Chains A and B, each alone.
Chain A
Amino acid sequence: MNPRRILAYFPAFAKGYLRNPLGLFFSLIFPIILILIFGAVFSNTGSSAAPLAVQNLDHTTPASQAFLAALNRTGAVSMSFVPASAGNLSQYLAANSLSSGLVLPAGFSSDVANRTPVRLVVYTNPSSGAEAGLVQGAVQGAAAASNLALAHGTEVILPVGVNVGSSSFKYIDYLVPGLIGFSVLVSPMFSMVNISSTWKRDKLFRQLALTPLTRSEWLTATIIWYILLAFLSAVLLVGVGRGLFGAEVTITWLSLPFLLLAPVLFVALGLLAGSVSSTPESAGVIGNIITFPMMFLSGTFFPVSLFPAWLVPVARVLPLYYVISGLNAAMIFNDPATVYANALVVLLVAAVFALLATRVFRWRED
């Protein structure tokens, strides 16, 4: 691989891209339009309700009922009740594919009445960063309200298991990473599906094959361009989100794996889709079949925690889900463990698609 040739080709590709208004629109402008629309529509709706399985081992005592009423008033969670007979809540959650749960221990009311500290165990799934944040924020809020009402401000009710950096999340907080994910998906996917099919039809790859530029150099220059676009898009979206809608999100070094790996993943996937298609028209159809479900089912516009239970496993097979979950963990919750877990998934998927794409994508014909 020759860096000189990569540097020689890169400006030509960038110019071609920047001079194409449609490509530029979908890469940078369209996500901004979406954040303006969704941000304006949902900016006052606060948090979205996350499903929460509640196991009340204190039965129906007034204090536990008052606490659950306070939790319900936060509007951040949608509670379902698990009977004590169900046993260990953690196992129940796993068995029922639920992400969040809360246990009110036996003796809750008497402990509160006696001002004896009582610990509430809050279960959240680290891979569901958005939902975990909502649940923990809501439980903390309800605990604070109950401490004030039931114990006159004494910190009696103590939620445990909270490991997030922010306790209050708004819709816009989730929308910004979601739209960054949208941008890193749409821009390389649509572009590469189009490039790999039309350039094949127009024999542009063969044209390049007659120059010293190699396939890997071409691919590297292309990926560098989409990484730059991903960073630019992230900066713009965070700027608009923070500036216009007060989003509490930041680009930290934890965001970098996704801004670097996601373009690789989707360039490879787009290249693969375009390369296996016989015509640009069929490539467009294949590209849409891949892109649109991913666009809407990966938590781009709404947290996956709000999806019906049957749809959640579908979301979890989509690569963009891990990009957005990772960006949520990086930009909202500052949760390195979740970032690493998601980054690893994105890395592995990117490696697989890159390998497949380089095997299918040919400049010359046997």
Chain B
Amino acid sequence: MVDSVEVSGLVKSYGPLRAVDGIDFSVRPGEVFSFLGPNGAGKTTTVEILEGLRKRSGGDVRVLGLDPWHELDRLRTRIGVTPQDFHFFPKLTPREAIQLYARLFDVRPDVAELLAHVELADKADDHYDVLSGGQRQKLGVALALVNDPELCFLDEPTTGLDPRARRSIWEVIRRLRSEGRTVFLTTHYLDEAEQLADRISIINLGKIVATGRPDEIITRYGRHDRLRIVGDPGLAGHLGPLGFTVQEVPNGVEIELGSKAEALRALEAVSASGLRWDSFSTRRETLEDVFLRLVGRIDEGMLRIGGRENGGAP
């Protein structure tokens, strides 16, 4: 099956600045593909080139087999786009907005169903300018679906939304995926990409630094899992000679694990040492850790709330 998006050697320059610097990637049909990067990394420039809104400086781009800049007339009926920071006509209602798009695309969607699909049925007749940020973004998603697109571009659809509104948009994205649509999701939220995406590309300074499934990226670029023991700092002196890679941390020690068996051995060694220990937990590197290592910085708002830790006590 032909890839929904094929990008090869894509370049976008603004004078001497290369906003996108020779990137390659592809998006498979039916997957949620997330384009992840800090502010100014080149995400929106890339997605706007894919949408046919911006002309590329070099390289080759095919979206559903078409050149988006030169064949936008044919492409626009097959794609749906929710742009970053979506705005619409302030005095139109969601119902009227969908009806307008339906007339422009010459299609007859079930307006009520579409509104229900994005959880906007109860706001169908409110003017756009009184909708909340989340409701506006949902309208953006609804408009992207009017023409029943094969491929949806969602450019930072949850930026600036409260957690509840974000989760609501996530549900919509999951529904799109379950309907078999391809979703190109641009985001700078790490948890969003990890939760929703089948595959991720991380872009930084116009270059792609990693591509793959989230767990693949963590495995490929992350460090080993770590066992943390809260207890006597003297545990480090006891475990080190036994062959463990151990590091003193506040209130205890942290042991790098090469395998699950090593975790059991370490716990047995701690227990046999006779030294005091209060609790233990394992910690796996997250996408956030990997992202930080690859990109070198995390912008405000990118950090996830809470980690994934499993633990126990004696």
* A positions within 8 Å CB-CB of B: 4-5, 8-9, 12, 15-16, 19-20, 202-204, 206-207, 209-213, 364-366
Contact = CB atoms under 8 A, between A and B. Distances in A.
B91 A15 contact: yes
Given A5-B104, A8-B104, A212 B77 contact: yes
Interface in B92-129: 92, 96, 100-101, 103-106, 127
A237 B91 CA distance: 28
Nearest to B83: A203
Contacts of B76: 210-212
Nearest to A4: B106
A211 B88 contact: no
Contact of B87 (A9, A12, A204, A210): A204
A19 B91 contact: yes
B53 A12 contact: no
Given A5-B104, A364-B53, A364-B55, A210 B91 contact: no
A129 B180 CA distance: 70
B133 interface: no
B278 interface: no
A12 B96 contact: yes
B96 A15 contact: yes
B266 to A, nearest CB: 55
A209 B53 CA distance: 8
B54 A365 contact: yes
B90 A9 contact: no
Given A9-B104, A211-B76, A212-B104, 20 more contacts: A8-B104, A9-B100, A9-B103, A12-B92, A202-B85, A203-B87, A204-B88, A206-B53, A206-B83, A207-B88, A209-B72, A210-B76, A210-B79, A210-B81, A211-B101, A211-B105, A212-B106, A213-B104, A365-B48, A365-B54
A41 to B, nearest CB: 36
Interface in B115-148: 127
A4 B107 CA distance: 13
A366 B213 CA distance: 33
B22 interface: no
A364 B92 contact: no
A366 B14 CA distance: 10
A168 B72 CA distance: 62
Tell me if B's interface is mostly helix, strand, loop or mixed.
Answer: loop
Contact of A16 (B85, B92, B106): B92
A366 B13 CA distance: 11
A211 B104 CA distance: 7
Interface string B20-54: 00000000000000000000000000001001111
A208 B309 CA distance: 46
A168 B51 CA distance: 64
Contacts of B51: 210
A207 B83 contact: yes
A209 B54 CA distance: 11
Interface hub of B85, B91, B104 (most chain A Cβ within 10 A)? B104
Nearest to A217: B104
A192 to B, nearest CB: 15
A20 B91 CA distance: 7
Contacts of A209: 53, 72
10 contacts: A4-B106, A12-B100, A15-B96, A203-B85, A204-B89, A211-B76, A212-B76, A212-B105, A213-B104, A364-B72
Task: List 6 tightest A-B contacts by C-beta distance, closest first.
Answer: A8-B103, A19-B91, A202-B87, A211-B104, A12-B100, A16-B91
Contacts of A364: 52-55, 72
A202 B89 CA distance: 10
B286 to A, nearest CB: 33
A210 B100 CA distance: 13
B160 to A, nearest CB: 15
A15 B92 CA distance: 7
Contacts of B96: 12, 15
